[in-house]
Structure 1
Amino acid sequence: MSGSIAWPAAGLAAAIAASAYAAGALVGHTEASGWTQAIVGGALALAGAVAAFVASWGLARATGSVVRTVRAIEAGDAGARVHDASRLAGPLVLHVNRLADRLEEVMAAAEAEAARLRATFDAAGAGIVAIGREGTIALANAAAQAMLGLKLGAFEGRRFIEAVRDYELAALAEAALRGNEEARVVAFGPHRLPLRAEARPIPGGGEWAALLVLTDLTEVQRTEQMRRDFISNVSHELRTPLAAVRALAEMLEHEVEDPGVKEVVVRIVSQVDRMTALVNELLDLSRIEAGAIQLAIAPVAVREAAAEAAATLEPRAAREGKVLALEVAEEAVAVADRQALVRMLTNLLDNAVKYSPPGGTVRLSARRDDGTVEIAVEDEGPGIAPEHLPRVFERFYKGDPARASEGVGLGLAIVKHLARAHGGSVHAENRAEGGARFVVRLPAAD
């Protein structure tokens, strides 16, 4: 029996029961007072039954209206309200309508927040993809759609790997779903679009479990190539006039007899040599960055390469009262280009000698560490301020006044790019006892 029928039926049953009671009373009483009591009692019972029936009928109607309203709200009609109610159901209807009003406000606020979020995402220059817990695409902004070739309305709810069909990006998304934050540069699609992709988990993100942030590197790479071309062209153009100036200065040095003039000429030669070294380093760095150098990769004993690099710096270190100490394990054999390795070690030793105080020791150590060879160069100088550590390998960077010198800031940049060209890495850190420590890691020979 439905709710709308149950209440009237209950009232009707009460009325019948009351009438039966009255009839029983009428039969059981023979005296006048008994008759009167029976009639009055029966009338009151019948009136109560009728009132209960009417009230229950109104309450049933109100209850049915409340149920219909709640079902309408559940179906998405936030404006649904209860409009008819009995006097008994009034408080219930009032609370239901108030709850519906509050629910409508919350839903409107949520829709407005979602609209603001989507507008913010679409205005972002980076591509943003929100990924659900099952690996499906919950949202992709306009930039991400353009980068990944997603058709509007055809990707939401689909699995990321099925919509994008790129295993590198899918691996990043899976890593984020497992709670790991990763980033890498990928070449996406048939046109090899360069993208920097960052995958980030969203703890407590509800339906959103991870975000994939994409940055188009096309313009960055184009600008970088223009910069490299400019430096290379300018460096080539400078080499010829520098060579001519040096030749003229050397001729003057042999021709003049005035000591004052001769000293000036010697300074000119020294500065020309310094400029020539700078130009050569710029050219070398441009070639390394462009991948234009040919590396003769082979097993190289770090001990031999370190000895060759130290031999270059020992005369200068001795003049300045500094000591070079080599502590290289025999098993430290790297897979590298020998000349490139010697250059890396020479640059690191040159940097360490430059910043170590008179009487200080510059230490070069190397050891095998699982599948890599770790080479460390330590100095006893002032160390590097923490805010400058991430930038010491940038070209021309000389931001730490404590380590200011006459160099131009290319030596460490060359070390960084040569290490990367070998599939290795380099980083700088401060020593607890003072001074700086530069660590190069290269693949180890079997």
Structure 2
Amino acid sequence: MGVETRESLGALSPWSPEFLAAIVESSDDAIIGKTLDGTIISWNRGAERIYGYRPEEAIGRNISILVPADHTDELAPIFERLRRGERVDHYQTVRVHKDGKRIAISVTISPVRDEQGKIIGASAVGRDITAQHEATKEALRMREEFISIAAHELRTPLATVFARLQLAERHLARPEIDMAAVLRDVVLVRQSADRLRLLVDRLLDISHISSGRLELEKVDTDVADLVRSVSSAFAETSGHAIRVNAPQPPEATRASLDAVRIDEVITNLLDNALKYGGPGDPIDVDVRADGAEVSFAVRDRGPGIAPDQRERIFQPFERGDTKAPGVGLGLHVAREIVLLHGGTIALEAPPDGGARFVVTLPKDGARS
């Protein structure tokens, strides 16, 4: 309700017919008066905004002009209930705009009585809930997509674990145990278990982020040393070469941060580089400190990321390549953790190809 409308209402006597009419006219909801045969007799600005008809175009016509062909059977039961004096509360249905566009509507319809209590018509208050419907449909789509991807991602390492444990069981049952074969099976089981753990951790993080329950426990940390440690462990597990460049002294790259969570950010970025980078090309990680900030960058030499995808890849369940493994949570979780630290994460496109993710964090953690 605008300032002019409020001033106009203030000039009217409270609860006078003019005052009540002004409230109806200024409502954002569609408020429509109609007779018991469906003839429209009043039409406010909200109705014009939602349905597109001007008052002179709607008044005198039947309410059926708003009902799509596949919903015409709704009207008779509604009018029958109104004639019995019943009210229809928050009825969700579909109506049609003047231009033919379908609109999701929540409508409450009440019988209108005269001074003797006789039902002479009805009033309908409708609210456009198209946006809510679309949001719900998108949430359901994302849920189904997530279930499908997560089921696939869980099934793959579980199948490996089961198969390798069967092989290890056979090897151990032989009179002469082939320890090299058993060790190979155990290593593959551990790697698959690591994949399962990473997926479960990301799912838990998404839950905590969504509910605002992801808390940080900051301590003074040497970021360069943390990057070296995480990169070394990741290289050993993945078998992929990782080069860390951190030329500055330890006192320059210290920052107040949650080392466990930043470990997760580094791991997610390395995992992303491993999936999308060239199989024989090393992953490069640079650590730099500048004044009150410290940053680290993870660079791969894969095909890079198209400009129109560079923001979307940070959304949950988005993947740059749908054929690549993963549920599309790593970059989203990484960004949320960085933002909680008061930092930034940026994607660069090096001239010679690949992708470079740069994380910048405040040294004192004051911006979080």
TM-score range, shorter chain: 0.3 to 0.5
With structure 1 as the length reference, what TM-score do the two structures score?
0.40
| Structure number with larger C-alpha Rg | 1
Which structure has the highest helix share of the two? 1
TM-score by length of 2: 0.48
